[in-house]
Amino acid sequence: GALGLLKSIYPNGDRDFLISKIKLGASYFNDMDGDCNGEELSGYVGAGQLNIKDAILQSIDPELEIINIIVLNETGIFIPGDTTELMITIQNSSGSSPVNNVTNFLSTEHPGVSLIQSQFQFDGSLPSGSTYNAPFLITSTNNVSHGDIEFLLEISAELDGSIPSNLQLDVDPYFFEKEINIPFGGPQQYGYPIDSVDILFSPLLVDQDNNSLPEIYFSSDSLIYGSMIGGLLVGNFPFFVNDKVITELSSADLDNDDDNELVFGTKNGLVYGLDHNGNQLFVYEQSDSIIGFCSLSDVNNDSFFEIIFIATNDSTSKLHIIDYLGNDLEGFPIIIPKKIMAPAAIADIDMDGYSDIVFGAIDGAVYAIDISGNIKTGFPVYALDDIYSPPTLLNLDDNPELEIVLNDNNGVIYLYNHNGSLINQFSTGSQLSSSISVADLNRDGLIELIFSSSDSLLHALTISSETEISNWPISLNGSSISESIIIDLDDDEDLEIITPSYNGYLNIFHHDGFPYHNFPYISQDSIKSSASIQDLDNDGDYELIFGTNRNLNVLDINEIGGEQYSWTSYRGNSMRTGFYDVSLSELSLDNLDIPREYSLGNNYPNPFNPTTQINYSIPKNSDIKLIIYDLLGNKVKTLLDDKYQSAGFKNIKWNGTNELGAKTSSGIYFYTLKAGSFYQTKKMILIK
């Protein structure tokens, strides 16, 4: 009878709602504290004295919730410039109060988005447990940012029921608001994003198994993931580590088996090596904290890559070099009597034929160590403040030796010669919040340093003049701790700069400082590391990969990408060496200058696996022949066969295959350039 009476007053309330009203309205009497056959009565209908008046007056709030959001077009994502309907399905939860006169209002503060229909009125009653669809009409500008744009949905409603006039039920109107994210722009690659991962380090894109399709490798807590086209997992990935991964992933063919290996470090000081299928190759044990990442380089010229990393404790540090089996190189580790908080850069800075290891310490000391573990002549030198960022190595002048660029904790940038002599130092005016990338952004033959600062600015500073290029620095959409990557996204021979902000904005700028169309990409999650970029599916355009605290995202740029050499991954390459070959950047710009004479440049990288770039220059329009030979003089591959080319600086890539497309074996090869009467040959080494 009580249920029937309540139902007459609240005809749109469901059974759970009515029973809750009766329970809440029950009056106390002593027997409520008793039991029935040993079972307490508390919580049961009838566990108390029925009070129908109080039951009617009991206030139970409505509970509206969003259960579905659909963009009503073929892609399910708003396309910039289009006008599209959005449908939001809202449910009044079971057991909650029925409501009526439901008003729905949708808004956004994004300047590129407008709502043509921003309000929907649901007339009549909304019973407990029922749903309705609220349609909205949204339009946007052509250059609206891709990503998840934030909207606010506000709902107001009145309690539904036929309350007797002699009863006073004082109930405020119901109000509900919810922030929702609506996707704009092109869809992610099929199979992505990968959710439920927390990515602290830059994803690594590399063709581990040399099948011409790169894979994506990344870590989340104690797992190493490998994925490919369609989001499919690679081999035996994910690989579980009984520890937390705390370094970037590095990759190279360590053991010359034609497949790359992964290397990373963990919180407890272990260094792991995995094969391309995710199987463990070795674990190197030591007890100190690994700093930053492991670099990979053939430091002793034995045709095998070594693994270089720094580990530190409270007062001292060790420089480790181990081989692909996880064994110490002779003479290592060496002790550095200082605390080091930044990883090293690796390159042959003095052109003696062997790689050197360059790094800084927290007291400002800058070291260069040779393959024998000796401190090189002229080092250490001292910056004015602590060093917390890795150096960048590059060649800035006509001499073959490299220069060292690094910054201290007070925003001062230093430029050293290979022998430790100071070339220049200058203050940026604020503390750097990222490590330094390099490029010739404005095609004037001068190198810029690209970095973020603690005041949320992105800088492009010309080294020679100590000034920013035109329209720089750029204000970011929040602070950034991530190193910028640089690439020609749209094949216009100008470079774009990709810089994430910690608050979820993935920024892309043209070299002149203007935003790339439809960027920044807006993620509502935190981006804590550098992005990565490569042509994941061999369709000619680039895929942009970045991680957040919730997922791994793969965006298709959908424009044919350029191929000029640039700083395309964290620390410049998958080996994490921090080395930038300036000559390759200049030589790729065909029309920047006309060379005075024919020349055949050095290939890079050398040794290489699986691809190298050959550089050459021609002073006038010519028919060009470029051929690869083996050590016995047999022709291996014709790269150019009397191809007519205009004057300029040129480059071409060789992927280590012969005329039939088969992979060639490790060894020494020669490449020969012929143009008219000009003829020149140089040597390169393929290692696997």
DSSP string, 23-83: HHHPBP-GGGGSEETTEE-TTSTTSSB--HHHHHH------EEEEEEEE-SSSSSBPTT-E
Query: CA–CA distance from 33 to each of 29, 39, 65, 428 (Å)?
Result: 8, 11, 37, 75
Bridge partner residues of 356 (DSSP): 347
Q: Are 477 and 457 in contact (CB under 8 A)?
A: no
- Distance CA(402)–CA(382), nearest Å, equals 18
Query: Residue 43 — very low, low, confident or very high, per pLDDT cuts 50/70/90?
Result: low
pLDDT at 53: 61
Cβ-based neighbour number of residue 620 at 10 Å: 12
Sequence-distant (6+) residues with CB within 8 A of 407 are: 387, 389, 413, 414, 428, 432, 436, 451
Q: Which segment of 39-48, 139-148, 282-291 scores lowest on mean pLDDT?
A: 39-48
pLDDT digits (tens, 9 = 90+) for 320-376: 999 999 999 999 999 999 999 999 999 999 999 899 999 999 999 999 999 999 999
Confidence band (pLDDT; 50, 70, 90) for 464? Answer: confident
Rounded Cα distance between 113 and 107, Å, is 10
Average pLDDT across the chain, whole number: 89
Cα 440 to Cα 435: distance, rounded to the nearest angstrom: 17
Contact criterion met (CB below 8 Å) for 78 and 138? yes
Residue 548 Cα to chain centre, angstroms = 8
Could you tell me the pLDDT band of residue 591, with boundaries at 50, 70 and 90?
A: very low
Tell me what pLDDT residue 453 has.
Answer: 96
194-235 per-position pLDDT tens digit = 999 999 999 999 998 888 889 999 999 999 999 998 899 999
Cis peptide before 391 (omega within 30 of 0): no
Q: Locate all alpha helices (DSSP H) within 293-403, ordered by sequence.
A: none
In the block, residue with structure tokens 């395309």: 568
CA–CA distance, 50 with 150 (Å, rounded to integer): 48
d(CA 168, CA 54): 11
| Distance of alpha carbon 441 from alpha carbon 505, whole angstroms | 22
Secondary structure letter of residue 608 according to DSSP: B
Q: Which H or E run includes 3? A: helix 2-9
Peptide bond into 187 cis (omega under 30): no
Q: In whole angstroms, what is the distance from residue 152 CA to residue 667 CA?
A: 63
Domains of the chain: 1-57 (no CATH), 65-184 (2.60.40.10), 194-588 (2.130.10.10), 599-686 (2.60.40.4070)
DSSP 586: H
pLDDT tens per residue, range 651-676 = 888 989 999 988 899 889 999 999 98
Question: What does the pLDDT average to over 72-78?
Answer: 89
Contact in structure between 617 and 601 (CB atoms under 8 Å): yes
pTM: 0.78
The pLDDT-based confidence of 588 (bands split at 50, 70, 90) is: very low
Q: What is the pLDDT of residues 616-637, one digit of tens each?
A: 888 888 899 999 999 999 999 9
More confident call, 161 vs 246: 246
pLDDT tier for residue 45 given thresholds of 50, 70 and 90:
very low
Residue recorded with tokens 């129908």: 52
CB 85, CB 137: distance < 8 Å: yes
Q: What's residue 587's pLDDT?
A: 36
- The mean pLDDT of 461-474, rounded to a whole number, is 92
Looking at residue 454, what is its pLDDT? 95
CA distance between the termini of the chain:
85
Whole-number Å distance between alpha carbons of 154 and 151 = 10
3-state secondary structure of 17: helix
- pLDDT tens by residue, 439-457: 988 777 789 999 999 999 9
Percent of the chain with pLDDT over 70: 89
In whole angstroms, give the CA distance from residue 439 to residue 434: 16
Q: Residue 226 in contact with residue 278, Cβ under 8 Å?
A: yes
pLDDT surpasses 60 at 47: no
Give buried/exposed letters for 55-66 (b at 16+ CB in 10 A, else e).
bbbbebebebee
Question: Under DSSP, is residue 649 helix (H, G, I), strand (E, B) or coil?
Answer: strand
Distances (CA, A) of 508 to 186, 489, 499: 16, 10, 6
Q: Cα–Cα distance between 61 and 83 in angstroms, integer?
A: 36
